[in-house]
A and B are shown apart, each in its own frame.
Chain A
Amino acid sequence: MSAPMTATEKILAAHAGLDHVTPGQFVNAQVDLLLANDATAGKVIAQFQHIGADRVFDPERIVLVFDHYTPSNNIASATVCRQVREFAREAGGIDVVEVGKGGIEHCVLPERGLVLPGDLIVGQDSHTCTYGGLGAFATAVGVTDTAATMALGEIWLMVPETIRFELEGQVDPWTVGKDLILHTIGRIGVDGALYKAMEFAGSAVSDLSIDSRLSLCNMGIEAGAKNAMIPPDSTTEEYLRDRAGREYDNVLSEPDARYAALHRWDVTGLRPQVAQPFLPSNVTSIDEVDPVAIDQAVVGSCTNGRLEDLAQAAEILREHTVAQGTRLIVIPGSQEVYLEATRLGYIEIFVKAGGAVSTPTCGPCFGGHMGILAEDEVAVSTTNRNFVGRMGHPRSRVYLSNAAVAAASAVAGYLCAPEEVLS
């Protein structure tokens, strides 16, 4: 009998037409969905034309999302979007997620039921690993690999070893998926899962909403992982009930599967976490961080631009306003989130509090537009990277946190815990 496999191994085997795979093995795997965005699709198309294929492998399995510089911030990005639209039409109707119809790729695809448990998803964006929150194998590749996959419908992959994280216990009420992943990266480092699959389980993980699970897996790449994975369960089923447009398979790790490492951590009472400049692994508890003065707070991105995050921010801002000398930027991750937040009154709360609310876009997350930092400015942000210059000037600084901490800090004018503002 062959050795029991992890969920990641099982999905790779199934998509490579094999009964069994082992870590280190190279496979050619069929992809269920391929994605690119406005920052990358133009270059993908150029490389695709280079290959000289007369057709894409399957227009219905490709999604192109406008989100990075969207709505277009200059002529160059507007031109890319036009090229992408033309290509998509000529290729036989590739789905283009347009301005006003979608939002950030990693928020939109799960909402639309395009990424499902057991799927193999490849994307030209490093945070493609987000979809592991629904139990898919999802990984990022570059422009050239994406172009080749667009032509072939398959991709070479090395089967990664899996590291399993069992997080047990009840966390603090303000703690969400973002805090669990920051805590994890803080413990294992930015290359702690290099080339590996991360699998998350335990009561602290199964307690998480889907918004939090997507957020947690989103930052797997920040530990160097190839993919991150949370086993699908009844919460997943519930989320997908009215979304999934096709059959899917809840692929779970077998009980005796082999792991490269197994971490069992007690996270009882874990408080919101903060990653200080300039690495996502530079993590401290909100209670231990210096109360640095902040110029800007950002709530949004593919990490924390979902409804749960806006709800956290609204709870803080309901009775408060943004501090003098500080600016708050709130960016719902998708039109669906935007609409729901409007219905629930969150948007009104943000505007009344003195926040700038934007249409869904990546915005300042990667220093694109909508809130670039000047020299020496400091931001607290719900995004995923605090690298040098990520949000603007190389001498600006970004602290990563969840939405409650970002909103509370906007009110206080300095980095602080939610309780400091609410009490």
Chain B
Amino acid sequence: MTGPSKAGVLRGKAWVFGDDIDTDRILPGAWLHLTDPAEIASHCLEGVDPDFAGSAKPGDFIVAGKNFGCGSSREPATFSIKALGIGAVIARSFARIFLRNAIGIGLPVIVAPGVADEVSPGDELEVDLTAGRVSNLTTGVVHQGQEFPEFMRRIVAEGGIIPYAQRRVTERAQKRLLDHSREDRT
């Protein structure tokens, strides 16, 4: 039994978007200079639905068709979704750089081809991030998302690319120190 309180299981409302939602529509170029997370979040998906950022609640989900996040590599677009508190983005497929950015900053993403067809705007979803499972509580239909390769899951488990790089940098510094002290002794 998975209860709503289980770790990695989220509940929220679905916001449904179509195919090929590009990053210019997720966060228009005019806002790229912003640095305040709340301000960035307030423009999230403005190019598709200007009311979305003001209406979505933390923990809600974005459900999209194919190629979500195509176009520019702008990470602030990915970040605007995270900053708004969206629980996960569930799409038929993601554009490559968007997916990479999401993994890098720790925004949960699920590739689940059937979800966009079945879920309607406003449906109540329960999403098990660990299992990659999306349950539509409104219709009772359960979708299984694709599993990410081990390599990616390890980076996500470490908390994104920053902790991963921190660990690698520390390892290197330690190795340098060690090599150094070896040289000193000879």
B73 at the A/B interface (Cβ < 8 Å)?
yes
Q: Is the CB of A141 within 8 A of B97?
A: yes
A142 with B78, Cβ < 8 A, contacts A47-B162, A125-B73, A191-B95 known:
yes
Binary CB contact string for chain B from 132 to 164 against chain A (1 if under 8 A, 0 otherwise):
000000000000000001010001000011101
With A and B bound together, what is the CA distance between A226 and B96 in angstroms? 7
CB closest residue in chain A, given B166: A51
Min CB distance, B181 to chain A, in Å? 18
Q: Is the CB of B24 within 8 A of A390?
A: yes
B12 at the A/B interface (Cβ < 8 Å)?
no
Binary CB contact string for chain B from 24 to 40 against chain A (1 if under 8 A, 0 otherwise):
11001110110000000
Q: Is the CB of A77 within 8 A of B33?
A: yes
Q: Is the CB of A43 within 8 A of B76?
A: yes
With A and B bound together, what is the CA distance between A152 and B169 in angstroms? 7
- Which residues of B, 4-63, contact A by the 8 Å Cβ criterion? 20, 22, 24-25, 28-30, 32-33, 47
With A and B bound together, what is the CA distance between A225 and B67 in angstroms? 11
Interface residue from B32, B93, B104, B155 paired with A142 (Cβ < 8 Å)? B104
Binary CB contact string for chain A from 110 to 132 against chain B (1 if under 8 A, 0 otherwise):
00000000000000111000000
With A and B bound together, what is the CA distance between A52 and B105 in angstroms? 17
| Size bin of chain A's contact surface | 35 or more
> Could you list which residues of chain B lie within 8 angstroms of chain A, going by C-beta atoms?
20, 22, 24-25, 28-30, 32-33, 47, 66-67, 70-76, 78, 93, 95-97, 100-101, 104-105, 149, 151, 155, 160-162, 164-166, 168-169, 173
A423 at the A/B interface (Cβ < 8 Å)?
no
CB closest residue in chain A, given B160: A144
Interface residue from B24, B97, B105 paired with A387 (Cβ < 8 Å)? B24
> Could you list which residues of chain A lie within 8 angstroms of chain B, going by C-beta atoms?
26, 39-40, 43, 47, 50-54, 69, 74, 76-77, 80, 124-126, 140-145, 147-148, 151-152, 156, 158, 190-191, 194-195, 221-222, 224-226, 279, 366-368, 385, 387-390, 394
Chief secondary structure at chain A's binding surface: loop
| Count of chain A to chain B residue pairs whose CB atoms are closer than 8 Å in the complex | 130
Q: Is the CB of A52 within 8 A of B29?
A: no
Q: Is the CB of B47 within 8 A of A388?
A: yes
Q: A residues within 8 A CB of B66?
A: 191
Chain B CB within 10 Å, residue with most, of A43, A140, A145, A147: A145
Q: Is the CB of A141 within 8 A of B165?
A: no
Q: A residues within 8 A CB of B28?
A: 367, 389, 394
Interface residue from B47, B70, B97, B149 paired with A394 (Cβ < 8 Å)? B47
Min CB distance, B71 to chain A, in Å? 6
Q: Is the CB of B33 within 8 A of A367?
A: no
Q: Is the CB of A191 within 8 A of B25?
A: no
Chief secondary structure at chain B's binding surface: helix
Q: A residues within 8 A CB of B22?
A: 385, 387-388
Min CB distance, A409 to chain B, in Å? 23
Q: Is the CB of B101 within 8 A of A26?
A: no
CB closest residue in chain A, given B77: A142
Known A-B contacts: A194-B95, A368-B29. Give 11 more (CB < 8 A): A40-B74, A51-B162, A51-B166, A52-B166, A76-B33, A152-B169, A191-B95, A367-B28, A385-B71, A390-B29, A394-B47
Min CB distance, A41 to chain B, in Å? 12
Q: B residues within 8 A CB of A145?
A: 100-101, 104, 161
Min CB distance, B109 to chain A, in Å? 13
With A and B bound together, what is the CA distance between A140 and B47 in angstroms? 23
Q: B residues within 8 A CB of A394?
A: 28, 47
